[in-house]
Every structure is written in structure tokens, then in C-alpha cells.
Amino acid sequence: MDSDISSTHTNDEERAAELALRPGSLDEFVGQQRVADQLNLLLAAARSRQAPADHVLLSGPPGLGKTTLAIIIATEMNAPIRITSGPAIQHAGDLAAILSTLVEGEILFLDEIHRMSRPAEELLYMAMEDFRVDVIVGKGAGATAIPLELPHFTLVGATTRAGLLPSPLRDRFGFTAQLDFYESSDLSVIVQRSASLLGIEVSQAAIDEIGSRSRGTPRVANRLLRRVRDYAQVHNQGKVDIKEAMAALSMYEVDPVGLDRLDQAVLQAIVQRFNGGPVGVSTLAMAIGEEAETIESLAEPFLVRMGFISRTPRGRIATSAGYAHLGLTPPEHLTKAIELDQGSLFDTPPSNA
């Protein structure tokens, strides 16, 4: 039980640290310049009309700033914000209860909107477009629909899988932003800002090293910075230089290009256990003792983006770049397999067997 309390306390500290490092306005928001400029125009126009902003859909991988942008939207509009998530809304009544308590101009942030139940989703259509919902009273033949007028609000939806959203829902958003992975230069700026807020004295070389290993993700950059800080504190170091940063990142199994323990396990399994592939994700998951969903959502996107593995109709294949990263030469059969599959990578779903 003590370990559970300790774990909860640690998680609370991590969340508190993340909240403290979040930018409070679009001017402070680093990276995603195109999205920031578009949002700034959208919000400025709404303020000039003295009206709530259009509904906004934020799409992109985890850790890129969707929640941060939702909070910034509320700040820029000087409006309160209500935060919930798709998995928490399993019935239309759950959503109706939230909508009925909103105030004029309030921001409703709905994270993981693609995981909302279908009945709640259908109720949301009318709420977004007409600012009203029909509350069903009674059951069976005696059921009556009572229209409930809603205040004008702004829905900010966030999703990591925009393709799972039905077209009627996507079409009701006035603005859709696709967040991309960050450049290392932007991550260095983020690390510098976070270090200043945390009171960490860190060299520019260490900042750049942390930024380059952060998988293009600010959340990862801030987490790695805190772990480097921990290492420096334990070893009684003052200013964090490149030596301490590299030693800390090595201890936490983050390699020079940002691959963590899971990424490395997946790549090594494909190369060493399955002779470069092809191998299905379910088989791969059993080989390394992880869930298939964990591999697909956490490790695979980054490995594919780095060009270390490919998703083919017959399974996952390690590329020549993947072999080179491990200091190995790809076998001849693998080179031929990649050439054969390149023309049909997106024609057939990859094997999960």
C-alpha cells in the first residue's frame, strides 16, 4: 500500500510539474507556428465580434500540446473552461448533464473525442450546430422529447486518431488543426524555457542534447529535463553540462536519436529474433512481453517516422536504416522484400498475426 501511495504522489508531482511548464498564451507557445497563427486569427476575430469562437478540433500524436492549446484558447477568450474526455461520456445523459450546466462563452474541452459513445456523439451534433439538445423524458411509447436551449459555447475536441471521427462530427468544427512533431530547434527553446522556470542552470550543449532526443515531443522534452535535473542533484552537480545530460539519458535508456527501452526492444526483436521480418505485431508483442496496442501506439509510430521499420502487407520489416542504427548490415532477402513491398505499403493493411 505504501508503494501505491508513493506512486500516486510521484504521478501528482509529475502532473504538477507539467502544468507549471505549460505556456499561458499563444505568444509563449513555441512551435506549431502555422497552427498558432491560424488560431490567433480565429480568436482575434471572435473577440472583435464579442462572440464565442467557432468549435475547434485539435488532432495529432500525444504530447504535442493539444490540452495546452485548449487552455490557451480559454485564456485568450477570457472564458472559463470545462475539461472532460471521451471515455468519461458513455451515455447521452452524461453529455446532456455537462452541456446543461455550461455558461455563455464557456470552453468545453473534450479530450480523446474519438472514444465517445455513439449516442452521446449524436447528441453532440445538435448541441454544436443548434445549441440545443432534446432531453428524453419517460420510456417506450410514452417518451417525450423536451428541447433544452444551451448557451453559446465553444467545443475544443482533441484526438490522436482523427480518422475514427465520423464525417458529420468533423464537419461541425469550424477549424481543424493538425499538430506536427516539433523540430529539434523548437524543442531546445522549450527545454531552455522549462529549465528557467524550474530554476535549473543548464548549458546550451545539454539543452540541445535533450531536445534532439525528445522524439519531436515537448512532453518528452520536459520529462527528460526533469530526469537530467534529478541526476545532477544526486551527483551534487551545480550547472548541468553535456556530460551530465548524456550520462543521465544513458541511465534512462534514451539513445542518441531518442529511442527508449521499448523502441529498442521492438527494433532488436525484429532484427535479431525474426531476421528482419516480416513479423506481425501480435507475434512481436509476445516476443518482447508487451501488449500489441502499446507497440502500435507508442513505439511503432516513432520507429516508422525515423525510417527504422516499415509496415507492409505481410508484417513489420526492419529497414536498412534500422539495421544501420544497430550497427548491422541488412541481409539480402530483406532488401528484396522491401523492394517488393514498397509499391503496396498502403494498399493492404499490415498483418497483425
Task: Identify whether 111 is a catalytic site residue.
Answer: yes
The active-site residue, picked from 68, 159, 160, 319, is 160
The active-site residue, picked from 22, 66, 223, 229, is 66
Contact (CB, 8 A) for 102 and 150: yes
The active-site residue, picked from 111, 208, 260, 263, is 111
The active-site residue, picked from 22, 213, 215, 219, is 219
Task: Identify whether 66 is a catalytic site residue.
Answer: yes
The active-site residue, picked from 67, 154, 217, 312, is 67
Among 220, 156, 182, 222, smallest CA distance to 34 is for 182
Q: Which residues are catalytic?
A: 66-67, 111, 160, 219
